[in-house]
Amino acid sequence: MAVPRIIESVGKATSHRDRDELDVAVAQMVASLLTARTVTVYRLISDGDTFRVARQISLRNDGTELGREDLNDFEHLPRLNSELAWRECVLLHDIVHDEAPAGGGWRSVFPLEGEGGVSGMLEVVADEGMRAREASLVTGLLRIVCNHVAMLDYGERDTLTGLLNRKTFETTFGKLLARPARLARDPNSTDPSWLAVIDIDHFKSVNDNFGHLFGDEVLLLVARLIRSTFRGADRLFRFGGEEFVVVLDRAATAGAEAAFDRLRVAIQDYAFPQVGNVTVSIGYTMIRPNDVPASCVERADEALYHAKRNGRNQSHNYERLLECGKLKVKETRSEVELF
């Protein structure tokens, strides 16, 4: 394999900042350098202690692509433990070679390292077993890609909590709206997506009474509780200060209500070191097909302020508050003001 060709492939792959585009570029890079039947990139999706495997992109040797799997269709995704090679790859953080599970041939599964461990896998299926030199080349290329991802994380994540930061929110929101509403497998599904604003109650008093060091610890622990409450495919942000945002993708109204209230109770019942009890107020709203980020956040904020005004430690749905007459739709001004 010519060195210029390898360098060109790496340069093309690491030119992407979008994670979905990067997954495709990695598969294309490996497929262009090896003789393989298929090259597939998988992402690990967690829900509590359960891990599932979602196919991000799969390229055949004729260049055709297999479709992606719905990250939120959790129950229909294969379990990590369903394939011994997958399980060993993730546990050992190392390449696993074995017979291809279908169609004969051999496969090699490489770990894709991310924040906090293995976040995905690259699977290569070929007629013959991969040679040591090829495996070493792919490992080195993936290490470069992982370093690229680490640099992206540095610019896109909050340095204290590790959650996504505010500047990545609009891009994430735009991708959510641009994506097809449903996969072909379930065209009749009507589950919407939701946006929630979460605010720690009386956080200023935590800093005033215990100091900013304990205040930062509260933020870290709240972020950890948010992570453990929601699915791996949901998008979690720290907006700054004591405010967090969650984009909950594809959930029925009852499911969204249960998820946000489960978080509220988890924080309420948690014993924060030195500080003791901490509560949060939550406002959330349905994401509409032609929504814009500012309008969506504003609706969630109105539900949040209702919770704050009525005793805090509450979770409220904006649409339900409208139905009950507890909130009114704000009138938008149509005239143009000249300054």
312 & 264 share domain: yes
Residue 323 has pLDDT above 60, yes or no: yes
Q: Would you say 144 and 137 are in contact if contact means Cβ atoms under 8 Å apart?
A: no
Residue with tokens 């540095």, as numbered in its chain: 154
Of 154, 189, 212, the one marking the end of a domain is 154
Q: Phi and psi of 282, rounded to 5°?
A: -130, 130
Confidence band, pLDDT 50/70/90 cuts, at residue 14:
confident
146 & 210 share domain: no
Confidence band, pLDDT 50/70/90 cuts, at residue 335:
very low
Question: For the ranges 6-10, 211-215, 291-295, 305-309, which has the lowest average pLDDT?
Answer: 6-10
Higher pLDDT, 229 or 191: 229
Residue 4 has pLDDT above 80, yes or no: no
224 & 117 share domain: no
* Mean pLDDT value across residues 226-247: 90
* Closest to 134 in 3D by CA, of 229, 36, 67, 64: 36
* Mean pLDDT value across residues 279-302: 95
Residue 246 has pLDDT above 90, yes or no: yes
- 84 class by beta-carbon count within 10 Å (0-12 exposed, 13-18 middle, 19+ buried): exposed
144 & 174 share domain: no
Q: Would you say 303 and 321 are in contact if contact means Cβ atoms under 8 Å apart?
A: yes
Total number of domains in the chain: 2
* Mean pLDDT value across residues 267-296: 95
Angle in degrees, 0-180, between the axes of helices 169-178 and 293-309, rounded to the nearest 10: 110
Of 134, 154, 174, the one marking the end of a domain is 154
Which alpha helices (DSSP H) does 240-336 contain, by range?
253-269, 293-309, 318-323
95 & 168 share domain: no
Is residue 199 one of the residues assigned to a domain? yes
**What is the percent of the chain with per-residue pLDDT over 90, rounded to a whole number?**
56
Q: Is the dihedral of CA 207, 211, 216, 221 positive or negative?
A: negative
Q: How far apart are CA 100 and CA 63, in angstroms?
A: 20
Is residue 331 one of the residues assigned to a domain? no
Report the helix count and the strand count for the chain, using DSSP H and E: 10, 12
* Mean pLDDT value across residues 206-212: 96
Q: Would you say 59 and 37 are in contact if contact means Cβ atoms under 8 Å apart?
A: no
Of 123, 154, 185, the one marking the end of a domain is 154
- CATH (domain of 188): 3.30.70.270
Burial per residue of 211-229, b for 16 or more beta-carbon CB atoms within 10 angstroms, e otherwise: eeebbebbbebbbebbeeb
Q: Is the dihedral of CA 22, 27, 30, 32 positive or negative?
A: negative
Q: Would you say 197 and 282 are in contact if contact means Cβ atoms under 8 Å apart?
A: yes
148 & 17 share domain: yes
Is residue 260 one of the residues assigned to a domain? yes
22 & 60 share domain: yes
Higher pLDDT, 61 or 69: 61
* Mean pLDDT value across residues 19-43: 89
Mean pLDDT taken over the chain: 87
Is residue 339 one of the residues assigned to a domain? no
**What is the percent of the chain with per-residue pLDDT over 70, rounded to a whole number?**
90
* Mean pLDDT value across residues 93-112: 91
Is residue 159 one of the residues assigned to a domain? no
Q: Would you say 238 and 162 are in contact if contact means Cβ atoms under 8 Å apart?
A: no
DSSP-assigned beta bridge partners for residue 7: none
Query: What per-residue confidence (pLDDT) applies to 186?
Result: 41
Q: State the chain's maximal CA–CA distance in angstroms.
A: 72
Residue 106 has pLDDT above 90, yes or no: yes
* Mean pLDDT value across residues 67-94: 84
Confidence band, pLDDT 50/70/90 cuts, at residue 77:
confident
Per DSSP, 72 falls in state: T
308 & 188 share domain: yes
18 & 150 share domain: yes
Q: Would you say 244 and 262 are in contact if contact means Cβ atoms under 8 Å apart?
A: no
Per DSSP, 249 falls in state: -
pLDDT tens, residue by residue, 128-162: 999 999 999 999 999 998 888 888 777 888 989 98
- CATH (domain of 150): 3.30.450.40
172 & 315 share domain: yes
Is residue 305 one of the residues assigned to a domain? yes
Is residue 335 one of the residues assigned to a domain? no
Q: Is 75 a catalytic residue?
A: no
Q: Is the dihedral of CA 132, 133, 138, 139 positive or negative?
A: positive
Q: Of the residues 83, 134, 242, 302, which is catalytic? A: 242
Residue type, 286: M
* Mean pLDDT value across residues 124-130: 93
Q: Phi and psi of 143, rounded to 5°?
A: -65, -40
Higher pLDDT, 275 or 32: 275
Q: Is the dihedral of CA 164, 169, 173, 174 positive or negative?
A: negative
Query: What per-residue confidence (pLDDT) applies to 183?
Result: 36
Encoded tokens for 41:
């990139």
Containing structural domain, residue 170 = 164-323
What is each CA distance from 218 to 64, 118, 140, 282, 329, in whole angstroms? 49, 27, 39, 17, 34
Query: What per-residue confidence (pLDDT) applies to 241?
Result: 92
Is residue 329 one of the residues assigned to a domain? no
141 & 181 share domain: no
73 & 217 share domain: no
